[in-house]
Amino acid sequence: MKKLCLSLFAVVLLLLGCSSKTAKAVSETDSLAVDSVADMGLDRHSEAYIRQRIDTIYKTVGKTTYDSQGNEVDYIRNPFNRDSAYCSQRYYALMQEACSLSNEMGDILYDYDYWVCGQDYSDDWSCKVAKVYEITDSTALVDLDIHNFSDRQTTIALRFERGDWYIDDFSPSEDGNDDKSYLRETIQKGLETREKAKALVGYWGWVGDGPELLLRLEMGDQGLKVTECNIYRMYGFDHTTVSYSSTGNLCVSELEYDEETMETKREFYYFAKLDENGDLKGDCRIRHPLASENYEGPLTLRKGYFKYE
């Protein structure tokens, strides 16, 4: 019996020792798997288990990995979806919706990487659990010491679901100025912008000088989409994307680039805004292999003014 107690005590000491290592220093062989810890009977609501869980989540952040062909792939370009794997379901759902609406508006949801706490990561990037506190049946807070070019501390909020702990917020705050608040505000702004964009649904045709452009916009599940973009009734663009910003700017674009010849094969770019008459007025740039000449200059479109029969 004494040997069994001593062995259990040694396991606990080993767990505490592992939790004090930085995320980059821990390897696949010297870190106990979370499932193994659970099998030993360690309470998943204990500080020791939560430390080990966060260590397991963060230990590959900042490391260089390799793809199926053996090519080096850094963390930023790693196809593994860390958000889906380690974030709570409600946080990931908010992130997906906010990201989709940001794309509709031509915005960037995040201009930094919240996992590495920066826009890039240093070769000596590391993470260490500093403190685990306010543990309840469903929530917990964790302070992390991050080294990314310099030392800083950040806090993550955890949620217990699906039998384990998942990240529920990367910057929890008592004043509400946290990531989830930012995501909700982005979603609200995006939905309001989508309503305004409905006024652009329909056919738009050229007015006055410039290329004879016919542009058709429709509203889909992912916001505005281009269903027709033809010039001079002769040639068109079939892979055009569109965004409509909260400031009322419409951007329609398509670019095909030949990497071998390093030349642009075709290009369509139209950046416009509704004027006081309800016309789309802006600048347009067109390059097409079938066109006798390219165009770059102002272009005005009027709704329902010009339509192919």
User: Which is nearest to 217 in space by CA: 247, 183, 244?
Assistant: 244
Per the listing, tokens 């965004």 go with 243
Average pLDDT over all residues of the chain: 81
| 3 state DSSP class of 3 | helix
Single-letter amino acid, residue 217:
L
Q: What is the pLDDT of residues 272-300, one digit of tens each?
A: 999 999 999 999 999 988 877 789 999 99
User: Between 2-19 and 47-58, two packed helices, what is the crossing angle to 10 degrees?
Assistant: 50
pLDDT of 257 > 90? The answer is: no
- What is the model's pTM? 0.70
pLDDT of residue 296: 94
pLDDT of residue 2: 32
Q: What is the pLDDT of residues 42-60, one digit of tens each?
A: 799 999 999 999 999 998 7
H or E element, residue 22: none
Distance CA 77, CA 89 (A): 23
User: Which is nearest to 36 in space by CA: 56, 59, 6, 20?
Assistant: 56
Put residue 162 in one of left, alpha, beta given phi > 0 → left and psi -120 to 50 → alpha: left
- Using the 8-state DSSP alphabet, how is residue 291 labeled? -
User: Which is nearest to 19 in space by CA: 1, 172, 46, 307?
Assistant: 46
CATH-assigned architecture of domain 201-303:
Beta Barrel (2.40)
pLDDT of residue 179: 87
Distance CA 279, CA 274 (A): 5
pLDDT of residue 119: 82
Distance CA 33, CA 24 (A): 16
User: Between 179-197 and 89-104, two packed helices, what is the crossing angle to 10 degrees?
Assistant: 40
Residue boundaries of the structural domains of the chain: 2-64+86-193, 201-303
Contact 299, 286 (CB under 8 A): no
pLDDT of residue 22: 33
